[in-house]
Structure 1
Amino acid sequence: MKEKLIMIGAGVETIPAIQKAVEMGIHVVAMDLNPQAPGFAHAQEKVIGCVYTPEKAVTALDNWALSGNKPDGVMCAAVDAPHTVAAVARHFGLKSVSMETAALATDKLAMKDRFKEEGIAIPWYKEIFSTEELQSIIETRRETIVIKPVDSRGARGVLRLIFGSDKMPAPEWAFKYARNESPTGRVMVESYLDGPQISTEGFVINGQTYTPGFADRNYEFIDKFAPHIIENGGQLPSLLNAETQHAVKKLSGEAAIALGIDNGVAKGDMVLHKGKPYVIEMAARLSGGYFCSHLIPWNAGVDFVKAAIHLAMGDIPDPESITPAYQKGVAQRYLFPPQGKVIKIDGVEEARKIDGIRMVEIRTAKGEIIPPTTNHPARAGVVIGVAETGEEAVRNVEKAVSLIKITTQ
């Protein structure tokens, strides 16, 4: 009988993980609250359940198990739900991060508290409870700060408040905006550290850290979409020198261990400020944005998702299989059309014909509404390309993006 893997979430970016598990001969049970979730078409079974509410997910899967079903593993990909994974794992006696680790990974304030306790380099931070407190911090610190919900995802509710800038929103609006995106109504601020930002993605295996995923993040539109902080993809291999990369990877691994990850995945949001690496956030899950499923394999030859599935099933992947075999150029850029109703989409097939383009994914259609660009889910599509160097990949991808015209009114 085939082993069964519960996949928490069945959105479009989870599909590669579902497909990989099926390819490995595993019976996939996908769970999502959306009955029309696109990942269901690729799984052997589907369960309707809330991926962000652990107790509801456990109840839904308990009902599935009534007919004698027993899972052998559980995981999530491109869904920030390690707390649900941990709850399901505990209920069915499966391998995953602990409930404590999952709680730390989904609560940015608790995460920073743990990092501070363990001596992990992080920006200054503080929980705040009122507009007045925010105003006082702005006047006292006189620096650019970031305000964010303690427990949201996808850059929702995150704002960069530039001290002295005419783009600085009113503190009352900024506080309410961040608080409204927090399920628990909690808000925090932290220093904005300027410098190159890096995405890391790796594993902790029996206390040993591996970081095959290392990408320079692209924030070329940070002023255009201010005060919102919107990333526009990135590139691999990194332009940082080997010594600096080693320092960032070392800190990323230490942060993962500080969160209590012993056998699992860890996704780091890092920044290099004045030559020193800092941790912005750390996630105990597989990333979204096709980083783990496409960018890392194309860049380094590491089948990251396959190794993560092995861990979820209680197996330890061979260290050689998660060690980069090479470094090819990979670039990713997103589409940000003007808000409004889509009346025409042109240039998609022309973009696909550009050298090295491996993916052109349009996430909107004629007649749909493009919302204001205030968070990452608002992106209307993605283009990914591969070349011998990162610079060449960037040129090809940016050329492809320039050919795609999404007209709105």
Structure 2
Amino acid sequence: MQKTLIVIGAGLESIPVLQRANEMGLHVVAVDANPQAPGFAHAHESVIGCVYTPEITVAALTEWSRQGGKPHGVICAAVDAPGTVAAVADHFRLTAVSAETARLATDKKAMKDRFSEMGIPIPWYQEIFSAGELSRILDECRETLVIKPVDSRGARGVLRLVYGSADMPDPAWAFECAKIESPTGRVMVEKHLDGPQISTEGFVVNGQTFCPGFSDRNYEFLDRFAPNIIENGGDLPSFLDQDTQQAVKDLSGKAAIALGIENSMFKGDMVVHNGKPYVIEMAARLSGGYFCSHEIPWNTGVDFTGTAIRLALGERPDPEAMTPSFQKGVAQRYLFPKPGKVVAIEGVETALVMYGICMVEIRTAVGETIAPATSHPARAGVVMAKAETREKAIKQVEAAVAAIKIITS
């Protein structure tokens, strides 16, 4: 019997998940609010439903089921929508994270509260309710803080406040910038811990954790985009020593379990500060940015997306399927043209044929306007390379980025 997988999200970065589900012989039903979502072309059926509004999606899928549809699993792809996944799973009695786990994973204040209760190392944090409160905290601590919406995504409204620096924004502006990006108007601050930041991605299966995804995050443009915090891809394998990597992986797994993740996947934002790992945030879903679909398989040989789909279908993958079989070099960089109207795009074909380049994706076109980069969705394209070593992959991807010119006026 052919099984049916519901995929919440049908945007550009959802396509690899939809493709993998097709390769696995599944009947694929994609859900998105955009009737023109590019992922719909890779699904057997398309359902219009808001990925961030569980009741709308459940209602739409209920109507779909009345026409004879019967799902066997649900997963979200490149969207931070575990709440919708949980609601759909509860309605159709499928395997997924609980509504409470989804709430903890999308409310950063509640997440930090849970981590604090469970003894998970995290930066100091506090919810704030006014610009005056932010000013007072800055004056008292006199160190770098991060202000962010409690419940947003994609680095929207996330600012680095370096006390006493020339880039330090007005606290009133910073508070409103974060607040406007929160659907509930809630804002929090936390201490900025310096040190290497890492993206982890793994699974919790029958109480055991596996963490094949491990990438050094690249924040080389912190000053360029200050006070916004914009990531510029990442590099694999990590430069960190094996003991430190294992400590980060172990903490990622403990944090996932603390959130209640079971027989599902997790995505961790981690930092190593003064030699000790800390959790910045944890998501109960597949990553975006092609980390789960491209970087992890290229780096480790682990079919991360396929394994996540099997878990969503109620299967229990073998440990070998979640364990790296090698460590090859992978590097990813984004394109950040100058703001303005795009008048020409050059060098794409040159970059595509460069040795080791596996992806060049341009997310703008001539005639479109490039806005200043204030969050991750503003990035104009992505380039990825793979090689035998990390160093070679970085060299290749940087050469390809240099070859591409998005010219603005």
- Identify the TM-score tier after normalising by the shorter chain: over 0.9
* Local SS of the residue matching 1:115: helix
Paired amino acid for 1:61: L
Partner residue, 1:50:
50
What do residues 272-315 of structure 1 show as CA deviations (whole Å, max 9, x unaligned)?
00100000000000000000000000000000000000000000
* Local SS of the residue matching 2:109: helix
What do residues 220-242 of structure 1 show as CA deviations (whole Å, max 9, x unaligned)?
00110000000000000000000
- Aligned positions of 1:9-408 closer than 5 A: 9-408=9-408
Q: CA deviation at 1:366?
A: 0.7
Structure 2: unaligned runs, 5 residues or longer: none
CA distance in 1 between partners of 2:112 and 2:248 (Å): 17
* Local SS of the residue matching 2:372: coil
Paired amino acid for 1:369: T
CA distance in 1 between partners of 2:295 and 2:315 (Å): 24
Q: CA deviation at 1:66?
A: 1.2
Q: CA deviation at 1:257?
A: 0.3
What do residues 378-408 of structure 1 show as CA deviations (whole Å, max 9, x unaligned)?
0010000011110110000000000000001
Paired amino acid for 1:151: D
* Local SS of the residue matching 1:139: helix
What do residues 35-57 of structure 1 show as CA deviations (whole Å, max 9, x unaligned)?
00000000000001100011111
Q: CA deviation at 1:70?
A: 1.2
* Local SS of the residue matching 1:57: helix
Q: Percent identity?
A: 70
* Local SS of the residue matching 2:21: helix
Give aligned pairs, total: 409
* Local SS of the residue matching 2:28: strand
Q: CA deviation at 1:14?
A: 0.6
- After superposing on structure 2, the runs of 4+ consecutive aligned residues of structure 1 that deviate more than 6 Å are none
CA distance in 1 between partners of 2:387 and 2:321 (Å): 23
CA distance in 2 between partners of 1:262 and 1:41 (Å): 32
Q: CA deviation at 1:58?
A: 0.6
CA distance in 1 between partners of 2:292 and 2:286 (Å): 7
CA distance in 2 between partners of 1:84 and 1:68 (Å): 21
Paired amino acid for 2:359: M
CA distance in 1 between partners of 2:305 and 2:390 (Å): 22
Q: CA deviation at 1:208?
A: 0.2
* Local SS of the residue matching 2:199: strand
Paired amino acid for 2:190: E
TM-score by length of 1: 0.99
What do residues 327-383 of structure 1 show as CA deviations (whole Å, max 9, x unaligned)?
000000000011111110000010111110000110111111111100000001000
CA distance in 1 between partners of 2:77 and 2:332 (Å): 19
CA distance in 2 between partners of 1:354 and 1:250 (Å): 37
Partner residue, 2:5:
5
* Local SS of the residue matching 1:320: helix
